[in-house]
Chain A
């Protein structure tokens, strides 16, 4: 689902001109819009320790190169590639890698019998729409907390694919992982979030 955007800045060419002209509102808009996802990507590639610094450097580098931005991609994509490249360089310097298997627990095997059939019953969830479910503050908190506990690579894949609608090949380029690995990350992130929502439903 696309985030609601500020119509004043919908015209990207105009937004870039406003940034080059030093318009304060334009800077506030791009930072509010893109800082969090840039941080997500940096954390996924280089880890928590260096992510803030990498994002800071990416912003400065992007701002200084704005005049050269030719609009061949969306501003968001361009920014995400700048932070991704910065993070990858940092990874090479620091010689560290994020592991795909970090923090992953597979589907609990006690849910199935020896033949692979489910032991427990699975019921439909009470409220049908996400809006109805999210009207409950407790569930919103559970989702927020579960999301924070996901490994950084899973958070980044989920944010880009499910929340930002970024295409799979673009995500592969940004995170420098194969499509099958992005699918694994998505599967793990969604499964963990499903477990949390399921527990909330069961305890109601």
Chain B
């Protein structure tokens, strides 16, 4: 019998379908019985959607225009 703590540990593997069938069914039964864990599953799904939509980036001080120019120059030098 799976507990809420097991859900917290396995929720991402459940979402990704990376669990053996027996465990998947066990967790599914827990979701049927536990509204907190159903809501938690929904929250984790929302978290993934929010992060995917938000697209946070690495902090980076690189001047991308300068880098592009530098690479363009390197390419031209290499070609000639």
CB contacts (< 8 Å) of B4 on chain A: these are 112, 116-118
Question: CA–CA, A190 to B37, complex, Å?
Answer: 16
Q: Determine which of B5, B53, B68 lies in contact with A134 in the assembled complex, contact meaning CB atoms within 8 Å.
A: B53
Does A1 contact B52, Cβ atoms closer than 8 Å?
A: yes
Does B43 contact A198, Cβ atoms closer than 8 Å?
A: yes
Does A162 contact B50, Cβ atoms closer than 8 Å?
A: no
CB contacts (< 8 Å) of B25 on chain A: these are none
Q: Determine which of A30, A117, A120, A131 lies in contact with B3 in the assembled complex, contact meaning CB atoms within 8 Å.
A: A117
Does B47 contact A31, Cβ atoms closer than 8 Å?
A: no
CB contacts (< 8 Å) of B8 on chain A: these are 107, 111-112, 191
How many residue pairs, one in A and one in B, have C-beta atoms under 8 Å apart?
A: 153
- Decide yes or no: A147 and B67 within 8 Å by CB, A22-B72, A162-B48, A197-B47 being known contacts: no
- What's the dominant secondary structure at chain A's contact region? helix
Looking at chain B, what size class is its interface with the partner chain? Answer: 35 or more
Does B75 contact A190, Cβ atoms closer than 8 Å?
A: no
CB contacts (< 8 Å) of B3 on chain A: these are 112, 115-117
Q: Determine which of A1, A31, A130, A183 lies in contact with B16 in the assembled complex, contact meaning CB atoms within 8 Å.
A: A183
Does A31 contact B71, Cβ atoms closer than 8 Å?
A: yes
Does A22 contact B75, Cβ atoms closer than 8 Å?
A: yes
Shortest CB-to-CB span from B9 to chain A, Å, is 7
Stretch at the interface among A56-64, A91-99, A170-178: A56-64
Interface centre among B5, B18, B69, B75 (most CB of A within 10 A): B75
Convert B50-80 into 0s and 1s, putting 1 for each residue whose CB lies closer than 8 angstroms to a CB of A. Answer: 1111111111101011011101101110110
CB contacts (< 8 Å) of A129 on chain B: these are 49
CB contacts (< 8 Å) of A28 on chain B: these are 64-65, 68
Question: CA–CA, A51 to B78, complex, Å?
Answer: 24
Convert A36-76 into 0s and 1s, putting 1 for each residue whose CB lies closer than 8 angstroms to a CB of B. Answer: 11011001000000001000000110011010000000000
Question: CA–CA, A12 to B34, complex, Å?
Answer: 49
Say yes or no for A193: interface residue by CB 8 A criterion: yes
- Point out residues on A near B: beta carbons under 8 Å: 1, 3, 19-20, 22-24, 27-28, 30-32, 35-37, 39-40, 43, 52, 59-60, 63-64, 66, 107, 111-112, 115-118, 120-125, 129-131, 133-134, 139-140, 143-144, 147-148, 155, 158-159, 162-163, 183, 186-187, 190-191, 193-194, 197-198
Can you list 11 A-B pairs with a CB-CB distance of less than 8 A?
A: A32-B64, A123-B39, A124-B42, A130-B54, A143-B50, A163-B55, A186-B12, A186-B16, A190-B44, A193-B47, A193-B51
- Point out residues on B near A: beta carbons under 8 Å: 3-6, 8-9, 11-13, 16, 18, 34-37, 39-40, 42-44, 46-60, 62, 64-65, 67-69, 71-72, 74-76, 78-79
